[in-house]
Amino acid sequence: MMNVLQRRHLERFCRKHGLDTAEIDSLISYDENKAHLQSLTCRSLEEILQDRQSREEEYMATHFLTFYVCCILEGAARIEHSAIALSNEFSIRAWTKDL
C-alpha cells in the first residue's frame, strides 16, 4: 500500500511524462508502480539509436553543404555519406544558381 505522498509523487510523474493517472494501481507498492510507469515511458537503447541515426540522415540530407565544408576542413577528400555525394570540385556559385 502507498501513502498519500507516494501517490502524489506518482501522479506528478504521470503528468510530467504525459501518462494517464489511471495507470497507478493502489493495490501494489510504490516501487512496483514506479517501475511500471517507467516501463511505459522509457525507450530501449535500440530505439534511441535508431532515432538518432534517422535524425543524422535527415540532417545530412538537409544540411549537406555544412557537412561538406566540415569534411573539407577536416581533410576528407570526398563525402560518401551525404544524401548528395559531393566532391572537391563542388562549386558554391553553381549550387546557388540552382536555388
pTM, two decimals, is 0.45
Q: Tell me, what's the pLDDT at 57? A: 75
CA distance 34 to 78: 50
The C-alpha cell that represents 42 in the structure block: 522509457
Residue boundaries of the structural domains of the chain: 4-41, 51-97
Q: Tell me, what's the pLDDT at 53? A: 81
Give the chain's residues under pLDDT 50.
79, 81-87
Burial class (CB in 10 A: 0-12, 13-18, 19+), 65: middle
